[in-house]
Amino acid sequence: MYTKFFNLNENPFTAKPNPKLFFPGKCHEEALLHLQYSVSEGEGFTLITGEKGIGKTTICCAYIECSDEQVKSAFITYSKLSPIILLKKVNEEFGIKARKGTLKELTDAFNNFLMQKKTEGKRVVVFLDDAHKHGNDVLEQLRLLSNLETTREKLLQIVLIGRPKLTGLLNSHDLRPLGQRVTVSYHLQPLTEHETFQYIFHRIAIAGQGVTVKFDSSAIRQIYNHSNGIPELIDSTCDRVLMASFRDGHRHISGEIVKTALKDLKYNPIHLSDLLKTFSRAKLYVFVSLLFLIVVLLALSQFRDTTNGISPELIRIKIPQGYSNSQIQKSQIPRLGSISQDYQEIMRLFDHEQPQIPESEENHDRLDDLKEEITYSIQIGAFRMLKNAQGMINSLNEKGYATRIVDFEDNEGQIWHTVRIGNYTSIALAEVDADIINSEDDLDAVVLPSNKF
């Protein structure tokens, strides 16, 4: 909409990865060099990690775009893959045809393709985007594909792209054989303020065949502070800023224009249809349950006011563990592991069988009083190295989760450190919270009995 106004040939801040607009910041250039080295040296597995929107996919697309004819690449984006669907997608990307769609036929056809490319002096690379979202069976299938090799070198290079949690997954017990094969890895960092300045003008210059839009230093500073140097956020912010500038007829971007655009971005109303799209089934279930509970409580309150006193012992309303009265009124979902004083007050009012916990005690003390009822917990991961488990613990604690490490010894006598969240007397409540963690925090949460390791 604003491209003609600013004399741009295309949108410089499009949300789609565009190798043409690739900006070689320090970290992004280093990541690209790591890719080039690992493929040229036939290193097998390469790992590229970084936060959402930091440019992992753009870097890999830029590598594919600039690689010569000696490198044949397949880029597999995230979808609900199974091992056999993964093989089908890989074969489709390379134009490989198999007589049958069985796992063996697909593998044999792919192996023949690799041998043919080897005789032609070419390298074959498979990129798996959002690798942290795939099941262990899919990642294990990639490991099996990597076994296709000659006595001298690998026939296939595999690049795993994902969030930082992917590193922890590859250190877990189930994926340890795969993690040990990663020989080259790189973790992307956000752009600095100076790089943000360069990034914005680089994109505008490419899209407009020259700098056709000017930003003053105050505007750049505000964009950087809002985006924290994450390219995806820089793009969305600049897109909104250019739209606001176009609306007001300004060709020079000032700090005041950015401030107004960010305000509009912050307070942009959310329609009900958009809100419902963000709800997972578990969230919607909890939300509706809480709304129903509010109606019941209000009805009981009115009923008590019109009677001559009804014994609280006759009222048997169970409130989900971890939800306080104030949180119910706000229809908010609290973090796990918290047993609030409001919750205890409500339980004492409506159920005389609930344990009496002094208000002055800390949450973990009250959990100790209930420990005989605890039968389930949510496991996030199992790690061979304690520092990896502690890193996960620190990350979860920053998000407000009550976490702990539970150690166990496997059949080979090795010690594993599992990261656990929450304490539940009901598997149903644990599964609801596990669904919330999976969808909201993008973690692989599994409900297990507390005594199972």
- 410 phi and psi, to 5 degrees? -85, -175
AA identity, residue 358? P
- Is 15 a domain residue? no
What's the rounded mean pLDDT across residues 425-430? 72
- Is 272 a domain residue? no
- Is 382 a domain residue? yes
CB 442 within 8 A of CB 163: yes
Q: How far is it between the farthest Cα atoms of the chain?
A: 92
SS3 content of the chain, % helix, strand, coil (to 5): 50, 15, 35
For residues 252 and 232, membership in a common domain is answered with: yes
- For residue 112, CA distances in Å to 69, 98, 198 come to 19, 11, 46
State the pLDDT at residue 402: 79
Tell me which of 134, 156, 187 is where a domain ends: 187
For residues 246 and 291, membership in a common domain is answered with: no
Q: What residues contact residue 306 under an 8 Å CB cut-off, 6+ apart?
A: none
Residue 195 has pLDDT above 50, yes or no: yes
More confident residue, 93 or 436: 93
User: pTM score, two decimals?
Assistant: 0.58
CB 25 within 8 A of CB 229: no
Tokens of 155: 């026939």
For residues 44 and 133, membership in a common domain is answered with: yes
pLDDT in tens, 95-121: 998 877 888 899 999 999 999 999 999
For residues 411 and 345, membership in a common domain is answered with: no
For residues 36 and 170, membership in a common domain is answered with: yes
What's the rounded mean pLDDT across residues 36-43? 87
State the pLDDT at residue 226: 92
CATH number of residue 378's parent domain: 3.30.70.1070
Residue 353 has pLDDT above 50, yes or no: no
Instruction: Fill in the DSSP letter of residue 269.
Output: P
- Is 2 a domain residue? no
For residues 169 and 197, membership in a common domain is answered with: no
CATH number of residue 211's parent domain: 1.10.8.60
CATH number of residue 132's parent domain: 3.40.50.300
More confident residue, 100 or 420: 420
- Is 14 a domain residue? no
Residue range(s) defining the domain that contains residue 424? 372-449
For residues 32 and 178, membership in a common domain is answered with: yes
For residues 262 and 285, membership in a common domain is answered with: no
For residues 333 and 385, membership in a common domain is answered with: no
Q: Indicate the number of domains in the chain.
A: 4
For residues 213 and 360, membership in a common domain is answered with: no
Least confident of 100-109, 277-286, 338-347: 338-347
- 185 phi and psi, to 5 degrees? -140, 150
For residues 86 and 119, membership in a common domain is answered with: yes
**Order of strands across the sheet that contains 123-128:** 71-76, 123-128, 157-162, 45-49, 182-187
Tell me which of 343, 365, 387 is where a domain ends: 365
Tell me which of 365, 384, 405 is where a domain ends: 365
- Four-residue CA torsion sign, 167, 391, 53, 399: positive
Q: What band does 319 get if pLDDT is binned at 50, 70 and 90? A: very low
CA-to-CA distance for 31 and 185, rounded, in angstroms? 9
H or E segment and range at residue 403? strand 403-409
H or E segment and range at residue 406? strand 403-409
- Is 274 a domain residue? no
Residue whose entry in the numeric block shows the structure tokens 């979902």: 333
- Is 18 a domain residue? no
- Is 12 a domain residue? no
Residue 309 has pLDDT above 50, yes or no: no
Q: What band does 220 get if pLDDT is binned at 50, 70 and 90? A: very high
For residues 320 and 397, membership in a common domain is answered with: no
Q: What band does 212 get if pLDDT is binned at 50, 70 and 90? A: confident
Q: What is the DSSP string of 20-72?
A: GG----HHHHHHHHHHHHHHHTT-SEEEEE--TTSSHHHHHHHHHHH--TTEE
